[in-house]
Amino acid sequence: MRYLLAMALLTLPVPVSAQPNEAEKIFRAFEKKLTDAKAAYKIAFEYEGANPGPRFKAKGELLIANGDQIKLTYTATEGGIEIAGSIVSNGQKMKVEGGGKDVMAAANPQLTKYVKGYLPYMPAGGIFVAIEAAERGKPEDAPDKIKATGFKLAGKEKIGNKETQIVEFTVDRLYGNGPVQCKIWFDVKTNMPLKRVFDMKEDGMAMRLVEQYASWEIDPKLTGDEFKLAK
């Protein structure tokens, strides 16, 4: 009897939820690439927000390095109005220019940590929201509080001449405004994102944000003057 009971227990299925599925493995491998980087990231991106109100489209480049140094440069259009701007931090001071702003302030001493932590998730708004949240540096918005769940494969698709695997999941939204449905198109050769789509609701209205990435560079060679502040 004991032998039969032991055999029955051995044949019980192991809960699959205890192990990451294939979709989550793809995402976590990307996350690990960013975590293992020694010094910096460089991302070339395009962004489009199909929100209520004027459509916002932007194209730019984000460079992040240790020591709370970042440089975001972009050109954009909103409601037919052209905007050019930048956000630069040298680790001590941060200068924000563009969109009617010209502000110099102290840099958040956790700026690099927050931006790097947000990169895998870009919670609810992509690069621009991630930078804004990192500037604030509020403990309740710390990257380790972001939760991603419900990973699943969502088919394959070509972007240009590159084959991608689409991974879908739910991620927490910054500022505590509810979950966001996220899809990432991963290049099957590099395991780096080529595209992300965020779908969410705000005040009962559907919103969609799309980011596309021309390139991701991990530990690019820096000249040393990338984070010089304009006077």
Within a domain: 224: no
CA nearest neighbour of 121 among 27, 192, 210: 27
* 3-class SS letters over 161-227: CEEEEEEEEEEECHHHCCEEEEEEEEECCCCCEEEEEEEEEECCEEEEEEEEEEEEEECCCCCCCCC
pLDDT score at 177: 65
Helix axes 111-118, 126-136, angle to 10 degrees: 150
Place of tokens 């109005």: 81
Farthest CA pair distance, the chain: 84
Within a domain: 1: no
- Contact 30/191 with Cβ under 8 angstroms? yes
Residues 181-210 pLDDT 10s: 999 999 999 999 999 998 887 767 788 889
Strands (E), 26-79: 40-50, 56-65, 69-78
Domain carrying residue 203: 21-218
49 or 188, which is more confident? 188
Whether pLDDT at 9 is above 80:
no
Within a domain: 226: no
Within a domain: 101: yes
Within a domain: 13: no
Within a domain: 7: no
224 or 166, which is more confident? 166
CA nearest neighbour of 189 among 148, 161, 227: 161
Within a domain: 168: yes
Within a domain: 2: no
Total domains, the chain:
1
The model's pTM is: 0.84
CA distance 49 to 61: 17
